[in-house]
Structure 1
Amino acid sequence: ALRFYASGTFYQVVGDNMGVDKSTVSNVVKAVSVELASLVNEFLSFPKDDQMAQTKRSFFLLGNMPNTIGVIVCTHVHIQAPHEREWQYVNRKWRHSINVQLVANTDLIITNCVVKWPGSVHNARILRESALYRKLQSNRPNGIILGASAYPLLPCLIAPFPVANTPQQAGFNSAHCKTRCTIERLNGVLKRRFACLNYLWVEPKVACNIILACIVLHNIVTRRNVPLDDIYDGPEPDELQQEQPPMFAPNEGQTERVIRDAIVRHYF
């Protein structure tokens, strides 16, 4: 299973290299992925109260964004055309995929994820339908999460200004972009470390378990400072084009605007 995650090659090739049948590799990868996926809540968690100050400091040093506890990004994992509901998995680039939502910190540790939605589903909808969104609404954390312009502006999720009308707003947008783009390296790091995530020749349910398994393993190796096999300096070319337009016209409430304006007024 580990060899498959890292190489992304066909089951037949993995089996030939290890002296087992293709069907054995398939069964092992599926079983190990299910077990690793079941550990996601053990290895992914938002910073606790005693970790908040350090997390905010790390983000501020990274891009001058205050009170930040995470950055939300999405990445598409390409899959073969599924046998059922094939059209739902076609993304904006006309490729079949799973759209994966990730929240990460400055160390590229994943603190929250959603792995179940077809590639046609917009980033904002994935957020709206997530347990994370419900948690943010009912138990607002002492900090903010940064998201791209595709996301709605919420009291605890801050998107950039659609148009910067003042130098201060331009400075805010610049710091927001710098912080967010640095964290978006995570997408490339994941797919460099686990090459199977570049294309999965499996049905969506199996693909989701494999993705979750790789996310759990990513956090383990990142916390243990395991280096990548080669030098990696930025996101994959495909990831640079992943940003989506807003799903609907902005519908910002007074509270959301006040919070963003207060950040601009005090820090920019």
Structure 2
Amino acid sequence: MSLHTFLLAYRGIHMAGIVHRYRRRRYRQRVHAEHAKPLEQYTSEELYARFRIGRDDIKYIADLVRPTLQHQTKRSHALSVEEQCLIALRFYACGTFYQVIGDNMGVRKATVSNVVKAMSVALGSLINQFVSFPKDDQTAQTKHKFFQMGNMPSTIGAIDCTHVHIQAPCEREWEYVNRKGRHRINIQLVGNADLIITNCAVKWPGSVHDARILRERALYRELQSHRPNGIVLGDRAYPLLPWLMTPFPVSNTPEQARFNSSHCKTRCAIERLNGVQKRRFVCLNYLRVQPKVACNLILACIVLHNISTRRHVPLDDNFDGPEPDVEPEQPPMFLPNDGHTGHAIVRNYF
């Protein structure tokens, strides 16, 4: 056999082997993990324990975000809106790692991350629908409920800041370090006697003082230019203004002592609100994300808090998460100033 004939024969055998292997190749069929069906398999009590919310409330939330999260087709076994809600609510409720949530819900870690981020943006876009300062026709009822708490007249809100612990940011890390030396986002909330959030500021690093956050808010400019028919209660970190009442630094008279006592009893509504929110949504005790994502998550929890409060969702008594990290009161940024409004309230009511 000549060399030329041998090479042709070898080439033919080699090509036949390739064709043979190609024909025998089989594509493995994609296997999709079975998604958990909590709405079907859990009782109402079990839903409250795992998601901090009930069956009807989950359906209500799903309908709110459906226009944003609804997939057009079921291609690649796309998650339904209800399944996306359950994944995100599970994260908000326990704040654990995405991998743990994925194992529990039957999805991948990356899927949990994408769903939580998308759900947070969708809920955050509803902030103006669920968070609003009392209007003129609502102030009378708001004042009455606050007065029942501590005999403080004309109160339409209580203001305070709370910190949310985050992981060290990649950029401008030092700005997020608070007085405890931890990386935090400083959130300012205004609430009413029913523990409903009526105004919020979610973007400031932990190093920013409470009074500065207030001064930069549109609410401050609005109340400064159009004085409300009532007062807001704040601690000593805030300035004393015609519409913002802070306690007397020192009680020099029995009337001032009674004012301070009433102020404390009434303003505790905002402290209770912060505690309830962090107890219901344990993720707010520590967010392992960058600040922008953290702010979206916080806004989502604020919307969910108001929804849960208005729909009278019970707070699970079997609480197994960490206790909220209480921030000490910020030192005053302003000199003590009794002001005419404070004296008038003391003179007329105490």
- Category of TM-score, reference length = shorter chain: over 0.9
Determine which of 180, 183, 205 is the counterpart of 1:96: 183
Paired residue for 2:229?
142
Alignment of 1:248-263 (within 5 A): 248-250=334-336, 252=337, 257-263=339-345
| CA apart distance, 1:46 | 1.4
Q: Whole-Å Cα distance in 2 between the matches of residues 238 and 168 of structure 1?
A: 34
Q: Whole-Å Cα distance in 1 between the matches of residues 183 and 324 of structure 2?
A: 18
Paired residue for 2:329?
243
Q: Whole-Å Cα distance in 1 between the matches of residues 226 and 334 of structure 2?
A: 26
- Residues 193-234 of structure 1: per-residue CA shift (max 9 Å, x gap): 0010000000000000000000000000100000101178xx
Paired residue for 2:30?
none
Q: Whole-Å Cα distance in 1 between the matches of residues 128 and 318 of structure 2?
A: 30
Q: Whole-Å Cα distance in 1 between the matches of residues 299 and 227 of structure 2?
A: 26
- Residues 40-95 of structure 1: per-residue CA shift (max 9 Å, x gap): 01101112222111110111110010000000011101000001111110111111
| CA apart distance, 1:182 | 3.6
TM-score, scaled relative to structure 1: 0.94
Matched letter for residue 265 of structure 1: R
- Residues 6-26 of structure 1: per-residue CA shift (max 9 Å, x gap): 111111111111121111111
Q: Which runs of 4+ in 1 moved over 6 A?
A: none
Q: Whole-Å Cα distance in 2 between the matches of residues 157 and 103 of structure 1?
A: 12
Percent identical pairs in the alignment equals: 76
| CA apart distance, 1:175 | 0.6
* 8 Å CA contact 1:75, 1:242 repeated in 2: no
TM-score, scaled relative to structure 2: 0.72
Paired residue for 1:185?
272
Determine which of 20, 44, 52 is the counterpart of 2:131: 44
Matched residue of 1:200: which SS? coil
Higher RCO by CA contacts (8 Å cutoff, separation 6 or greater)? 1
| CA apart distance, 1:178 | 1.1
Q: Whole-Å Cα distance in 1 between the matches of residues 100 and 210 of structure 2?
A: 35
Matched residue of 2:187: which SS? strand
- Residues 166-195 of structure 1: per-residue CA shift (max 9 Å, x gap): 110111011101111243111111111001
Q: Whole-Å Cα distance in 1 between the matches of residues 150 and 134 of structure 2?
A: 19
Paired residue for 2:349?
267
Aligned length: 260
Alignment of 1:72-83 (within 5 A): 72-83=159-170
* 8 Å CA contact 1:155, 1:259 repeated in 2: yes
Alignment of 1:79-228 (within 5 A): 79-228=166-315
Q: Whole-Å Cα distance in 2 between the matches of residues 230 and 131 of structure 1?
A: 37
